[in-house]
């Protein structure tokens, strides 16, 4: 498998530059929609003069998702939940407003509870936002020593969420794309990518996976959302599921054909043109039907493996979109509200405790220093924190880069643009331009999304200083300092004082992958291919975790060999994929299953000593990598 560009130290700038500049389908639409929501929110908060307008505008970044279904559910759910929470705060406000100790205890308790719920339940995307709003609302009581002012502060805290939620709801009702449309577009991107690879006349031995801006995991997620969309026709949903399976199989066949030099170049180009025509149709949100496979003269003269690949490729095209629904192999079950390990997994509580401790420390810091201008450090703690050290460090790196870029853009706007502004419309134009840049970066994928979020946050904090155009550089300076202080505090808590490694998560993912391969080897070819999309999604998740493992400072001494071992395992599994899903010889599949069954089963129990346990786990990962590589080699 090709090494990701980010792994090369000298290539990181080119890699991230390409991610920022690359325009894939739907990216500009998402950025424009988000910038529009932010601008309309800015107009409302400026008209009514609500406090902290920058934070209110910024919440739109958490409420908008690429698809309409999620973008409609999130604002409603968040508004209802925050209404209940603000009501609870009203009940206790009179008791804690004059008692700082009890107020801090209420802040810590509510923060821990909401963060734990966010990590261990379906509230995961909302947990940090809820905790941030509630804790910040309680912190505002410190500035409102009078009951009437406290009531007004809590109502304003409710408006932090209600205003951007209402705007997001209206905009998405009018212009939000359906999950099904986005899934068709993603499939078109996959086919376009496969077409480009197939048109290459030179075979590429040793290079398996097609690198695509979107993954089949994204398609699977959008299909699940489309299944919940009552406005979608059942026949279209069935066609979408079948098309996803067929596109995944076509990509796999193209991967295999890239190593077959005996396949004529002329046929490759014909097949690529067919895939291009299908991709054009999918990118318009429509399913191609009655696809005519490219003819292959002299098929009998080809080697057996090459002829089999061509025949199967043409069979998939002729039957496109196919018959099997995307989730036929998985029984439909309603997922519980709490995660299965919610009560016994200590990581959820550890995450809640660390984040809360960082936030409370920041609250004490700016309160004791009497420097309310850096209150953004408290908000930053909830925005940045993630369960593991690797995730947090990666997010922090992107956040700091985005913060510096956004602050630089905001300061330039304050110095050169804002002084010339004499109307609200001109200020809204500046907000639109800044949030459009942040939204464009945020829509570039998980590797750079956090930088876009932080760019917009820093820019808004600098430019939007109240309900009128303002150009106070002190306010901008203090808010940026607050962001950096929050970043430093979270890094200290998550990477230095209480690190949590992502390596066990990677190990568990490889164990689940081994179990899936074992199950697949016992199935007939058609049943195996119905699970191809889920298998691709699993590989994508492991690849993402391995990329994060490079940031795992808790295992700094052994990070490099571990990272290489994980990459070997992933590369071996990637090479094994065509054999698992295309091989019809049951003997070869049984041999793979036997090797996997024998892998690591005779390993001794892990020692309680930390070093011995790390070494033991490392040996298990290396053993799996070796087994996968041998299975792949013997199957050739």
Cα–Cα distance measured from residue 161 to residue 149, given in angstroms and rounded to the nearest whole number: 19
Cα–Cα distance measured from residue 94 to residue 109, given in angstroms and rounded to the nearest whole number: 17
Question: What pLDDT does 205 receive?
Answer: 52
- pLDDT above 70 (res 147): no
- pLDDT above 90 (res 606): no
- pLDDT above 90 (res 35): yes
Instruction: pLDDT band for 558, please (50, 70, 90 cuts).
Output: very low
Q: Per-residue pLDDT averaged across 41-45, rounded?
A: 94
Instruction: pLDDT band for 612, please (50, 70, 90 cuts).
Output: very low
- In tens, the pLDDT along 201-229 reads 555 555 555 555 557 777 778 887 887 77
Q: How far is CA 55 from CA 44, 129, 386, in A?
A: 13, 11, 20
Q: Per-residue pLDDT averaged across 549-567, rounded?
A: 62
Provide the token pair at 207: 């290079």
- DSSP letter at 554 equals G
**Secondary structure tally for the chain: helices H, strands E:** 25, 0
- pLDDT above 80 (res 31): yes
- pLDDT above 90 (res 165): yes
- DSSP letter at 494 equals I
Question: What pLDDT does 166 receive?
Answer: 95
Identify the residue with better confidence: 15 or 286.
286
Contact 60, 41 (CB under 8 A): yes
Contact 106, 138 (CB under 8 A): yes
Q: DSSP letters of 2-65?
A: PPPGGGSGGGHHHHHHHHHH---TTHHHHHHHHHHHHHHHHHHHHHHT-S-HHHHHHTHHHH--
What's the angle, vertex CA 15, arms to CA 210 and CA 573, rounded to 5? 35
Cα–Cα distance measured from residue 180 to residue 345, given in angstroms and rounded to the nearest whole number: 35
Cα–Cα distance measured from residue 187 to residue 278, given in angstroms and rounded to the nearest whole number: 10
- pLDDT above 50 (res 273): yes
- pLDDT above 60 (res 625): no
Question: What pLDDT does 530 receive?
Answer: 79
Cα–Cα distance measured from residue 1 to residue 212, given in angstroms and rounded to the nearest whole number: 14
Question: What pLDDT does 32 receive?
Answer: 95
Q: Tell me the pLDDT of the chain averaged across its residues.
A: 79
**Residue 342, SS3 per DSSP:** coil
Report percent pLDDT > 90 for the chain. Answer: 18
Instruction: pLDDT band for 619, please (50, 70, 90 cuts).
Output: very low
pTM metric for this prediction: 0.80
- In tens, the pLDDT along 321-374 reads 876 554 444 445 566 778 888 788 888 899 999 999 999 999 999 999 989 889
- In tens, the pLDDT along 458-516 reads 999 888 887 666 667 888 888 889 989 999 999 999 888 888 878 788 888 888 888 88
Question: What pLDDT does 196 receive?
Answer: 86
Question: What pLDDT does 599 receive?
Answer: 55
Cα–Cα distance measured from residue 534 to residue 329, given in angstroms and rounded to the nearest whole number: 10
Question: What pLDDT does 21 receive?
Answer: 76
């Amino acid at each position: 498998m090709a090494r990701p560009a980010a792994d090369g130290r000298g290539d990181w700038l080119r890699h991230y530059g390409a991610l920022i500049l690359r325009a894939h389908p739907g990216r500009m639409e998402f950025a424009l929609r988000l910038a529009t929501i932010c601008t309309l929110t800015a107009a409302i908060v400026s008209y009514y003069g609500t406090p902290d307008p920058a934070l209110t505008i910024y919440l739109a970044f958490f409420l908008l998702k690429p698809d309409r279904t999620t973008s409609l559910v999130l604002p409603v759910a968040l508004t209802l939940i925050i209404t209940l929470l603000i009501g609870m705060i009203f009940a206790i406000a009179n008791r804690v407003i004059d008692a700082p100790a009890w107020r801090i205890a209420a802040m810590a308790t509510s923060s821990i509870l909401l963060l734990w719920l966010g990590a261990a339940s379906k509230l995961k995307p909302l947990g940090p936002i809820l905790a941030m709003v509630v804790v910040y609302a309680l912190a505002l009581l410190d500035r409102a020593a009078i009951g009437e002012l406290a009531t007004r502060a809590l109502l304003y805290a409710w408006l932090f969420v209600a205003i951007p939620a209402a705007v997001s709801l209206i905009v998405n009702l009018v212009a939000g794309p359906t999950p099904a449309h986005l899934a068709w577009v993603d499939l078109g991107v996959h086919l376009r990518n496969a077409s480009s690879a197939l048109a290459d006349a030179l075979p590429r031995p040793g290079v398996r996976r097609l690198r695509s801006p979107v993954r089949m995991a994204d398609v699977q997620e959008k299909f699940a959302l489309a299944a919940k969309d009552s406005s979608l026709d059942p026949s279209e949903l069935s066609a979408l599921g079948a098309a996803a399976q067929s596109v995944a199989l076509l990509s796999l066949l193209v991967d295999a054909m890239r190593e077959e030099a005996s396949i004529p170049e002329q046929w490759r180009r014909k097949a690529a043109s067919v895939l291009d025509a299908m991709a054009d149709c999918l990118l318009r949100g429509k399913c191609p039907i009655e696809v005519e496979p490219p003819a292959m003269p002299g098929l009998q003269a080809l080697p057996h493996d090459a002829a089999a690949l061509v025949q199967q490729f043409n069979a998939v095209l002729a039957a496109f979109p196919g018959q099997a629904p995307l989730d036929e192999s998985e029984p439909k079950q309603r997922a519980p509200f709490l995660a299965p390990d919610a009560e016994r997994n200590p990581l959820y509580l550890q995450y809640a405790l660390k984040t809360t401790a960082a936030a409370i420390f920041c609250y004490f810091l700016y309160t004791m220093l009497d420097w309310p201008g850096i209150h953004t450090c408290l908000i930053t703690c909830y925005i940045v924190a993630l369960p593991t050290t690797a995730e947090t460090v990666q997010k922090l790196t992107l956040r700091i880069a985005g913060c510096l870029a956004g602050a630089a853009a905001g300061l330039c706007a304050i110095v050169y643009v804002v002084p010339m502004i004499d109307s609200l419309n001109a200020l809204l134009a500046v907000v639109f331009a800044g949030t459009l840049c942040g939204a464009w970066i945020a829509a570039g994928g998980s590797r750079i999304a956090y930088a876009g979020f932080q760019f917009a946050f820093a820019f808004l904090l600098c430019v939007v200083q109240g309900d009128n155009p303002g150009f106070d550089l002190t306010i901008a300076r203090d808010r940026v300092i607050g962001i950096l202080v929050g970043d430093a505090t979270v890094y200290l808590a998550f990477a230095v004082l209480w690190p949590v490694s992502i390596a066990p998560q990677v190990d568990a993912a490889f164990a689940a992958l081994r179990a899936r391969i074992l199950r697949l080897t016992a199935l007939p070819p058609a049943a195996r291919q119905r699970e191809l999309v889920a298998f691709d999604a699993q590989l994508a998740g492991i690849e993402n975790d391995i990329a994060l493992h490079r940031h795992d400072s808790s295992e700094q001494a052994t990070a490099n060999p571990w990272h290489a071992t994980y990459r070997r395992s992933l590369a071996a599994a990637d090479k094994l994929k065509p054999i698992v899903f295309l091989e019809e010889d049951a003997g070869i599949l049984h041999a793979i299953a036997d090797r996997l069954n024998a892998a690591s089963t005779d390993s001794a129990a892990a020692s309680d000593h930390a070093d011995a346990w790390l070494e033991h786990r490392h040996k298990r990962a290396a053993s799996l990598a070796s087994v996968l590589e041998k299975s792949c080699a013997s199957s050739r």
